[in-house]
A and B are shown apart, each in its own frame.
Chain A
């Protein structure tokens, strides 16, 4: 039979003592495999840790600020999402938002605020994220040139979502993704859904995962 050794010697790792070269081989393979598992495990853990580390949370005003150029809806709650045009993680936020709006049509007035930091080139903001936002129905897109509105609403991280009631009071602030750039159910999305459905919610603030909007920290 061809290559008997393949069928027997390698079938289990209890290589006979007389088969010294194989024994040494397997010892080395085990050592390398253990090292490989450790490196891969550490790398994966670091990646997961990075993806699950939230950005700087917003400290938005509890009441709709009168100085803002953004418009508060009279008949429905107003949802604001602050977006860094180049943040790759925000695609996930937009996806989740689109699903939320599909579940609650005409139940909320939504404005996507694209923050353009000072010193950036013209058309810097027209990215795939902008185009994705523009395709969402019944949503207005606002260019926050210089980041004045982000500053006004004291937001710092892309994907930060604020919900103000018709009474101008803040109902929710936070992210609506489970991690950095990750789609899927999240506490923020669940809370927003409950609020829009008129249900009680225990959560009105969640971590937000995304790139820093301007690099400046929101003021209290």
Chain B
């Protein structure tokens, strides 16, 4: 990480320095042009002509300003425009700038004021933030003074015979300024480096932030998918149970229908018809007709059969009513859980387990699962999202049912219990005697997409674990191996622990 920042900081620093040097090159291109024009103007004003008595001609200073000044300026301008940012370009500019100083000093008659051009030029050259440029410029000044001191001493030192080392005095003044500029350059470079480092760190932080945001978005997406999967799971459970109950209703309806079809009511109807036909001769018919003699006994038997039939049908219809009531309860429960989705509230573990069991009771009955619910109302109240807990428990129950179907033990047994943990949480465990879990799968079972069921999608336990974590709890598994059943434990915080302020306020 630090290495990445350092590399990025170096790249930013190099880029900034390159841009600065290119910009300085462009500045000098303009400056060179301006100096050239200024030199010509100075020559035209100060010494336009050379006179010989009454005759005159254009001064050599004017030609020097035009041509020598032009040559001095042209090459660095060309380099600044075509090869900006190169070390070579700024070295040539440094040489040219010092030569321009010499020319301007010459054109202005050696005025002491024009010598300031040398020092101003050094300051401008310092814009490059390259000490080598200043070194070159200083060397040009030194060489100029050395050569002129040897060949034309009066032109530079004002005396015909100067000390051979006097040029060092002049160069020393330039060096004096150089020292200050070197310090300034170093400080500027350090500041640029600091800025680049800060920028690199900021970029890194932004990148981390973006990655974190992307991870959060992915996490949220997973949660949403898990939530949807959980809801689908609960809905499937609800439909499954409703289907089971409806099946019972259907069986009851068929029984009622068959009983009605076989009912003795038809014979009673025929007896009633005969009695109507014999109206007026009814006494004779009952006394003398062989059919009439049997009719009272027949009616007595038929009424007994019909009474029995009625009792059975009432019983059957009561059962249908119970089934329909069960369906209503399941649907109502589902609606209740759907309404409280996302709300953390204190809930009794016993009611949670009972509700979850109710929604799956029909399936357990059909699969012959014996339930042992040991979660009593004395279990501590937990602070949970009841919908999530319902999702988790429904998923655990269904998994247990499948596991037991697969193992098919002599007695399918599902045990549910709730215990308070050492950390002050409540652990709701669901134990089955199903197919069990191998050791290698114990670590993978909560992974996204992991499933051992043929038609499973691997969302259930993954979303359950996520949901438990969201509630500051956990979902764990323990199994002694294949064929030895499994225990899934949902651990959730108690309502007391979620509200630590309460004891404080009580104490106050």
Contact = CB atoms under 8 A, between A and B. Distances in A.
A88 B61 CA distance: 11
Given A7-B14, A33-B92, A47 B106 contact: yes
Contact of A92 (B50, B86, B110, B159): B110
A159 interface: no
Interface stretch (A70-78, A131-139, A163-171, A182-190): A182-190
Given A1-B14, A88-B47, A179 B155 contact: yes
A48 B106 contact: yes
B47 A212 contact: no
Given A26-B88, A48-B106, A184-B110, A86 B49 contact: yes
Interface string B444-465: 0000000000000000000000
Contact of B52 (A92, A120, A212): A212
A120 B52 CA distance: 12
B67 A211 contact: no
A32 B79 CA distance: 11
Chain A interface size range:
35 or more
B interface, by DSSP: helix, strand, loop or mixed? helix
A184 B87 CA distance: 37
Interface of B: 11, 14-15, 18, 46-56, 59-61, 64, 67-68, 71-72, 75, 79, 83, 85-88, 92, 95, 99, 102-103, 106, 109-112, 148, 151-152, 154-155, 157-160
A2 interface: yes
Contacts of B75: 32-33, 36
Contacts of A117: 53-54
B51 A212 contact: yes
B23 to A, nearest CB: 13
A interface, by DSSP: helix, strand, loop or mixed? loop
Contacts of B79: 29
Contacts of A32: 75
B109 A211 contact: no
Nearest to A43: B68
Given A33-B92, A216-B53, A39 B155 contact: no
A52 B86 CA distance: 38
A120 B54 contact: yes
Contact of A212 (B53, B59, B112): B53
Given A44-B68, A88-B48, A182-B110, A6 B18 contact: yes
Contacts of B95: 37
Nearest to B59: A88
A158 B53 CA distance: 10
B475 to A, nearest CB: 49
A86 B49 CA distance: 8
